[in-house]
């Protein structure tokens, strides 16, 4: 990717001037990134660090958690659950440094190759660099990766360093970091004191340079909240920022951010004052969390019962209103029926008829309480007494609003039904006029 911005062009210019990794930094990686293993059988042990072999005096296999000590190099060795006499391990390693105004995280892959009877072989290769500007912008300068590989960090080691776009492959969480870290003055000013707290260097540096909340959390030693803010739900931290500030002013360290957020969520739901130090700075967070959760569960059950009672009351009132409409308005049209000798159409005259109509034709004329709609009239088209379609007719303009058969589909008699209703709609209109006159 070609450098486009001024910062990207400076990274390309400065990147080639970075000094190579020192022998001391390389040796630290070789000594600290890998566990030491041995091969064992009932007859012998083989150290995968120095290649030395010695007899197994007990003629038994050690448990995987047991350690043995190599009599040659003195290293404590872990027994491996394998009969393989060759072992390859690759880990990430980072060196934190600066280059002019940039904070730079240099990332390496370190390989350890162990073979029986031979000393372990090591190799190291720089694969990516994260250049972080004073305002927290991250510019990735790295090798190319294999595009068709199923591994997102399959580096092409003979490729060239170039500017790369944003991708999680460049936010490397190394197994080891060289202990001597060189950081910019602005990063020191923003609270960094040589500790990363299991946060990837790129995230930590970019956040404390670009985000005042992250900077404040680091300076206040609210590390659990800082991790939660960076990796989990930053919006929740922002929602409760005033409560967190109260904790900071009172010197209260939140040791479990997830539990504290859940606790304050429940406090807020229970209408407690989450700006009161008494609530947001509990001496025993776990105990108070469990207490408020238990209380809230009981409250929810009470609220649920009250809500169900309210809904049931509303349902009864609605049903009574629907019945009133049905009896006062729809009853005026009872008895209307017309036929063409094959199909007969009649007004539905009871809730039972509505229910049967809905069940037989598999639609919602009863469930949706069409009997309670004052502006429409429901009719049933039948053959030999069995419903084939249900008609909803407007009592305003006396037009058919819908005419549905089984499962809301048109029956084969749909057109005849529509014609029959159209030819006899005057009977319904006349009854409506008589009702108004009355």
Give pLDDT tens digits for 147-192: 776 677 889 988 999 999 988 889 999 999 999 999 999 999 999 9
Q: Looking at residue 37, what is its pLDDT?
A: 84
Contact status, residue 176 vs residue 33, Cβ threshold 8 Å? yes
Tell me the DSSP string of 410-427.
PPTTHHHHHHHHHHHHHH
Annotated domain spans of the chain = 6-177, 211-291, 330-437
Q: Backbone phi, then psi, for 23, in 5-degree steps?
A: -60, -35
Closest C-alpha among 153, 152, 129, 155 to residue 144 = 155
- 46: its two tokens: 């083989």
- How far is 241 from 234, CA to CA, in rounded Å? 10
pLDDT at 81 over 70: no
Closest C-alpha among 254, 267, 326 to residue 295 = 267
- Overall average pLDDT of the 26-44 stretch: 87
> Degrees (nearest 5) of the Cα angle 88, 93, 99?
150
Residue of 246 and 88 predicted with greater confidence: 246
- How far is 112 from 49, CA to CA, in rounded Å? 10
Give pLDDT tens digits for 394-421: 999 999 999 999 999 999 999 999 999 9
Q: Looking at residue 388, what is its pLDDT?
A: 96
CB count within 10 Å of CB 321 equals: 13
- How far is 224 from 324, CA to CA, in rounded Å? 62
**Strand ranges in 100-237 using DSSP code E only, listed in sequence order:** 102-115, 121-132, 138-142, 162-164, 176-177
pLDDT at 43 over 80: no
- How far is 218 from 306, CA to CA, in rounded Å? 45
Whole-number percent of the chain with pLDDT over 70 = 95
Give pLDDT tens digits for 295-328: 988 988 988 899 989 898 888 888 888 888 788 8
- How far is 258 from 237, CA to CA, in rounded Å? 10
Q: Looking at residue 285, what is its pLDDT?
A: 95
- 21: its two tokens: 């990794």
Q: Looking at residue 60, what is its pLDDT?
A: 59
Q: Backbone phi, then psi, for 238, in 5-degree steps?
A: -65, -35
- Overall average pLDDT of the 100-107 stretch: 96
Query: Based on the number of CB atoms within 10 Å of its own CB, is 152 exposed (0-12), middle (13-18) or buried (19 or more)?
Result: exposed
pLDDT at 229 over 60: yes
- Overall average pLDDT of the 207-223 stretch: 96
Q: Looking at residue 48, what is its pLDDT?
A: 87
CA torsion 265-269-273-276 (nearest 10°) is -20
- How far is 126 from 94, CA to CA, in rounded Å? 9
- Overall average pLDDT of the 377-390 stretch: 95
CA torsion sign, 394 to 398 to 400 to 406?
Answer: positive
Q: Looking at residue 66, what is its pLDDT?
A: 61
Lowest-confidence region among 44-58, 236-250, 263-277, 291-305: 44-58
Q: Backbone phi, then psi, for 315, in 5-degree steps?
A: -65, -45
- Overall average pLDDT of the 333-352 stretch: 92
Closest C-alpha among 310, 338, 326, 421 to residue 366 = 326
Q: Looking at residue 312, what is its pLDDT?
A: 86
pLDDT at 85 over 90: no
Q: Which residues contact 199 (CB under 8 A, 6 or more apart)?
A: 226, 227, 230, 231
Tell me the DSSP string of 53-97.
EEE-TT-SPPPTT-EEE-TTT--EEEE-S---SEEEEEEEEEEEE
Q: Backbone phi, then psi, for 105, in 5-degree steps?
A: -115, 115
Q: Looking at residue 435, what is its pLDDT?
A: 56
Q: What is the distance between the terminal CA atoms of the chain, rounded to a whole angstrom?
A: 85
Residue 156: its H or E element? none
Residue 353: its H or E element? helix 351-361
pLDDT at 62 over 70: no
- How far is 68 from 74, CA to CA, in rounded Å? 10
Residue of 12 and 234 predicted with greater confidence: 12
Give pLDDT tens digits for 121-156: 999 999 999 999 999 999 999 999 887 766 778 899
Q: Looking at residue 65, what is its pLDDT?
A: 53
Residue of 270 and 83 predicted with greater confidence: 270
pLDDT at 268 over 70: yes
Whether CATH 3.40.630 fits 330-437: yes
Contact status, residue 37 vs residue 190, Cβ threshold 8 Å? no
Contact status, residue 132 vs residue 201, Cβ threshold 8 Å? no
- 92: its two tokens: 């990430």
- How far is 53 from 40, CA to CA, in rounded Å? 10
- 132: its two tokens: 């972080």
Q: Looking at residue 401, what is its pLDDT?
A: 95
pLDDT at 267 over 80: yes
User: Three-class SS of residue 362?
Assistant: coil
- Overall average pLDDT of the 331-335 stretch: 90
Average pLDDT, the chain: 90
Q: Which residues contact 437 (CB under 8 A, 6 or more apart)?
A: none
Q: Looking at residue 69, what is its pLDDT?
A: 85
């Amino acid at each position: 990717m070609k450098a486009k911005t001024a910062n990207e062009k400076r990274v390309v210019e400065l990147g080639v001037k970075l000094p190579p990794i020192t022998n001391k930094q390389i040796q630290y990686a070789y000594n600290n990134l890998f566990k030491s293993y041995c091969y064992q059988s009932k007859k012998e042990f083989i150290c995968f660090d120095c290649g030395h072999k010695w007899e197994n005096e007990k003629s038994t296999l050690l448990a995987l958690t047991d350690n043995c000590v190599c009599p040659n190099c003195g290293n404590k060795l872990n027994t491996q659950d394998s009969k393989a006499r060759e072992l390859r391990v690759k880990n990430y390693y980072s060196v934190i440094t600066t280059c002019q105004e940039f904070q730079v995280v240099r990332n390496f892959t370190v390989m350890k190759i162990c073979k029986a009877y031979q000393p372990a072989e090591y190799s190291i290769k720089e694969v990516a660099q994260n250049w972080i500007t004073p305002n927290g912008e991250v510019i990735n300068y790295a090798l190319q990766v294999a595009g068709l590989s199923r591994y997102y960090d399959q580096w092409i080691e003979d490729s060239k360093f170039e500017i790369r776009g944003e991708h999680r492959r460049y936010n490397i969480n190394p197994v080891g970091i060289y202990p001597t870290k060189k950081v910019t003055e602005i990063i020191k000013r923003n609270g960094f004191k040589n500790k990363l707290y299991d946060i990837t260097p790129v995230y930590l540096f970019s956040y404390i340079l670009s985000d005042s909340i992250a900077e404040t959390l680091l300076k206040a030693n609210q590390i659990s909240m800082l991790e939660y803010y960076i990796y989990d739900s930053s919006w929740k931290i922002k929602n409760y920022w005033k409560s967190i500030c109260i904790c900071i002013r009172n010197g209260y360290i939140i040791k479990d951010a997830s539990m504290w957020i859940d606790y304050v969520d429940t406090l807020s739901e229970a209408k407690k004052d989450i700006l009161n130090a008494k609530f947001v700075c509990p001496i025993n967070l776990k105990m108070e969390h469990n207490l408020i959760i238990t209380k809230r569960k009981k409250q929810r059950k009470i609220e649920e019962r009250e809500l169900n009672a309210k809904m049931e009351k509303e349902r009864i009132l609605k049903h009574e209103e629907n019945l009133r409409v049905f009896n006062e308005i729809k009853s005026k049209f009872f008895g209307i029926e017309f036929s063409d000798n094959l199909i007969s159409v009649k007004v539905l005259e009871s809730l039972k008829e509505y229910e049967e109509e809905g069940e037989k034709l598999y639609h919602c004329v009863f469930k949706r309480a069409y009997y309670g709609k004052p502006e429409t009239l429901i009719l049933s088209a039948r053959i030999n007494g069995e419903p084939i379609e249900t008609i909803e007719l407007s009592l305003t303009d006396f037009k058919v609003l819908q005419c549905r058969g089984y499962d809301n589909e048109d029956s084969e008699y749909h057109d005849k039904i529509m014609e029959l209703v159209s030819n006899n709609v005057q009977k319904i209109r006349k009854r409506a006029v008589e009702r108004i006159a009355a």
